[in-house]
Each structure stands twice: as C-alpha cells, then as structure tokens.
Amino acid sequence: MSCRIAVIGTGYVGLTTGACLAHLGHTVVCADIDADKIAKLRDGIIPIVELGLADLVADGMASGRLSFVMGSTEAAKNCDIAFLCVPTPQGEDGSADLSYVQRAAEEISAVLPFEAIVVNKSTVPVGSTKVVEKALKRPDVKVVSNPEFLREGSAVQDFLKPDRVVVGSDDQAAAMKVASLYDGLSTRVIITDPASAETIKYAANAFLATKLSFINAIAAICEGVGADINDVVVGIGSDKRIGENFLRPGPGWGGSCFPKDSRALIKIAEDADYSFDLLKGVITVNDQQLDRVADKIRLAAGGDLSGKIVAVWGLTFKAGTDDLRDSPAIAIIERLTKLGARVQAYDPTVNVIRPGLPNDLVIAASSDEATSRADVLAVLTEWDDFKWISPSTIATEMTGKQIVDARNLLDRKDWERAGFTYQGIGR
C-alpha cells in the first residue's frame, strides 16, 4: 500500500529515509529549515557524500514521488505518516537534547491530518515517544518509534537491505501501518513497545562500540606479546558466536552516533539507577586508543614533535563519507599539534578548513603534497585510494621514512621495501 509521507529534517538520516521510501513506491515530501539546502536538493544537488543517494533522489524526483519543501508544516499538512528525522545533539549532561524533536512535533501538530501517525526516527532517549505525544497534544495521532541503523557511506544499502526493521508502539494498528511501509523489503520486522524499540537502538550502538574498544585493547596486547591482530581476529571471529564483522582495529571509533549515543546511554542508565561501568570503560579505552596512536606518531618522529612535520592521510571519521563529526583523525591531530607538530593533511573529501577542523591545520591538495618534507606519515582514515599510492614516490618527498598506519590499510612489505619503518595497529 502506498502512503503519503512527510520527512522532517533532511540530514543524512532524513534524506536517505525519504529517498528510499520514495523508491519503495510511497509519495514523500521532505522538509528542512535550511533554504539553501532545499534549493540545492530541488536542483538535484546532494549536500553529503553518500553512495547511491544522488541517483535515488534523482529517480524519486523524476517519478514525482519525491519533493522538497521549506518548513515542516508544508510537508506534514497532507501526510498519512510524518517521520521526525531532526538532530538529537548531546546536551550538557551527556543526555540527548530533545528540543529539535519537540519543536518539530509542536510545529506539525496543528496541520497533521486526522489520525495521522508520527514516527520517531531520530535516536531519542527511552521515553521520548511520550515526550512527542505530549508536544503534539493530538490524541488522534499515534506516535511510533522506528529507529534507524544506517551507517554513513552505506546508508542506502542499509535501508534497502536491512538486517531488521524495528517498530515500537503501544498502538498495534499504528505499528502495523508503519511496518507495512517496508513491505517491499525482505527482512525481519520486530514489533515491540516504544521503550524496547528505543532501547534497541542505544544497545546496538553501545554493543558495536564495545566490540571496537575490545578489539583495540586486544590489539594493544598483541603489540606487547608479539601477536598479529589480523590472525587473532580471524581466529576469534570464526567462532559464530563472535563473528568477524566490526572487529577491525583502528585509531579509535568516532562519528556522529557512537560517541553521543554511548554517553546518552550512560545517562539513561544513571536515570534508571544503574551505573553502566562497562560502557564507561568502553569510552575510556577509546580515549586511550587516540592517545596511543598519537604516541606512536611521536615516537616515530624520534620522541619529540616540536618543529616536526606530520603528514596525515584521512580526516573523516571513516572512509565513504565527508563527515568530520567526532573524527578520531581530528582528535589525534589536536594531540599532535599540542605537542608542537605541524600537520599537513590530505583527505579526498576535504579541500578547505571546515568547521570542526583545527585552524592551524594545513590542508593539502593531494596525498603527495601532504607528505612533502614530512618526518612521519600517519594514515588515519581507510580511504581505498591510499592503498594504490607508490611508496617509493612518497619516500623521495619525505624527510623521515616513518609511517604509522592506524587503519592497517597499506601493504607493510611494499612500504618496508621502499625504506620505510612501518607500524600498524596490533601487529
């Protein structure tokens, strides 16, 4: 059954949700408060780097099933279902700031058609379904939680081929209606109460962050005992109960979700009288990982970074996105500059200093330019392109022949053959 859908907020979650729901045959109106963004989207310009999204948006607009408007009320006035996809940034005490969600609900309340459904897609604390109900003041409108599990860089694929769809509501009919939006997908649909749906989202991210901190901790042990983390991951990951996915060691985890969601879950737990020490430890291990990588770079530079040039390849929090939010690369660069290093960085998606980047960072136009006269090269984001760069060319440009590959991306032997001292993570 085709539905009329409003999507409030065209960030990466809202835009992906809107474009994918239009692809599934629904009629979708996406709204934002940013006039510039809406104008660009209407011209088919996608403001983020996201594989496959531009094509899907173009297809949706061409079919007439996807359109973009200014302001939430314009989108919500004729919808059957309104998706709230607005930001939930971290508040001062670590909890998620719900003010955008509340404001969006208040705005659309007056225009929502009779018995419309409002869906919380933003990651919201447990109990937020009730908060939205209160903000709406519309007993005829049911509120449903339908968390997203989209990874940046593969959000379209994750939406269209999900491991599961979770729908949480106290109203069975509303839950079924939201679940039916995904009828075109072959996936498991889990229908539950709102608090469980909200908890699933936080628990999933916290578990994944735990996996990563765990493997980074094991990588540190590997370095101390002379083991190879790659073999250890294969060895433990072959146990079906563990699995090999999401066990790649790195410079630490970051991005728009894990850091804020893990802090929010600690706060949710605190409010429920539980001290989530395990998750606190997961965050501590992640901070230590950033320190460890910065220290590896310092030692590679001879122990003192003052006056040294560090070339950095990769600024985004992972490959496949232009997102710099809570990027481990930036956290490490800040540590290096504090120790006196001059950092020259190259990232395929960053060509000028953007908000969130340190002002004294030098942005290079190419990977070669970044390594010019550098004492150490640090690989901090796993962009595939870096794998194909010739080590011997880089060797002629650098002052030092030191490389710290914090993503275990490059071929160690190739770099050693070109005269480099290579250090990875956990091997």
Q: Would you please indicate which residues are annotated as catalytic (active-site) residues?
A: 257
Tokens of 250: 């790195």
**72 vs 381 by CB, closer to ligand UDX:** 381
Please tell me the distance from the alpha carbon of residue 336 to that of residue 404, in angstroms, as a whole number. Answer: 13
Closest CA to 20 of 39, 42, 35, 5: 5
How many CA atoms lie within 13 Å of 162's alpha carbon, on the beta-carbon side? 21
> Which of 100, 159, 253, 346 is the binder for ligand UDX (CB under 6 A)?
253
Determine if 335 is a binding residue for ligand UDX (CB under 6 A).
no
Which of 182, 258, 313, 386 is close enough to bind ligand UDX by CB under 6 A? 258
The site that binds ligand UDX (CB under 6 A) totals a number of residues, namely: 21
Asked whether position 257 contacts ligand UDX by CB under 6 A, the answer is yes
Locate 365 and state its tokens: 């136009």
Place of tokens 């903000």: 135
- 103/151 with CB nearer ligand UDX: 151
Q: Tell me the two tokens of residue 104.
A: 């969006």
Q: For ligand UDX, which is the closer residue by CB, 203 or 353? A: 203
- Position among 318, 335, 401, 427 found at the interface with ligand UDX (CB under 6 A): 318
Q: Which stretch binds ligand UDX (CB under 6 A): 30-38, 58-66, 254-262, 263-271?
A: 254-262
Query: In this structure, are residues 250 and 292 in contact, taking their beta carbons and an 8 Å threshold?
Result: no
Beta carbon of residue 174, minimum distance to ligand UDX (angstroms, whole number): 23
Distance of closest approach, residue 243 Cβ to ligand UDX, in angstroms = 11
φ/ψ (deg, to 5) at 173: -65, -40
Q: Give the residue with the Cβ less far from ligand UDX, 311 or 406.
A: 406
**199: contact with ligand UDX by CB under 6 A:** no
From 76-84, 138-146, 221-229, 256-264, give the range in contact with ligand UDX by CB under 6 A: 256-264
Q: Which is nearer to ligand UDX, 152 or 375 (CB)?
A: 152
* Piece of 17-25, 104-112, 253-261, 416-424 that binds ligand UDX (CB under 6 A): 253-261
Collect all residues with Cβ–Cβ distance below 8 Å to 139 and sequence separation of at least 6.
Answer: none
Of 83-91, 252-260, 264-272, 417-425, the window that binds ligand UDX (rule: CB under 6 A) is 252-260
Which runs of consecutive H residues, i.e. helices, occur in 155-257?
155-160, 172-180, 194-225, 229-237
- Which residues make Cβ contacts (< 8 Å) with residue 201, sequence separation at least 6? 123, 147, 148, 149, 166, 261
Q: Binding of ligand UDX at residue 150 (CB under 6 A)?
A: yes
Is 207 one of the binding residues for ligand UDX (CB under 6 A)?
A: no
Query: 214 or 276: whose CB is closer to ligand UDX?
Result: 214
Among 48-56, 68-76, 251-259, 410-418, the segment contacting ligand UDX (CB under 6 A):
251-259
Residues 53 and 155: beta-carbon distance below 8 Å = yes
Examine residue 103 and tell whether it contacts ligand UDX (CB under 6 A): no
Between 298 and 407, name the residue whose CB sits nearer to ligand UDX: 407
Query: How many whole angstroms separate alpha carbon 76 and alpha carbon 52?
Result: 27
Q: Give burial (CB, 10 Å; 0-12/13-18/19+) of 386.
A: buried
Q: Closer to ligand UDX at the Cβ: 44 or 89?
A: 89
Q: Does 152 bind ligand UDX (CB under 6 A)?
A: yes
CA 205 to each of CA 3, 148, 149: distance values in angstroms, whole numbers, following the listed order: 30, 11, 9
212 lies in the binding site for ligand UDX (CB under 6 A): yes
Q: Which two tokens mark 324?
A: 């710099």
Run of H or E residues at 142: strand 142-145
The footprint of ligand UDX on residues 221-250 (CB under 6 A) is 246-248, 250
Cα of 344 vs its chain's centroid, Å: 25
Choosing from 149, 313, 386, 420, the residue that interacts with ligand UDX (CB under 6 A) is: 149
For residue 80, the 8-state DSSP code is S
Other C-beta atoms lying within 10 Å of the C-beta of residue 239: 9
The number of helix segments (H) and strand segments (E) in the chain equals 16, 14
* Binding interface with ligand UDX (CB under 6 A): 148-152, 205, 208, 212, 246-248, 250, 253-258, 317-318, 328
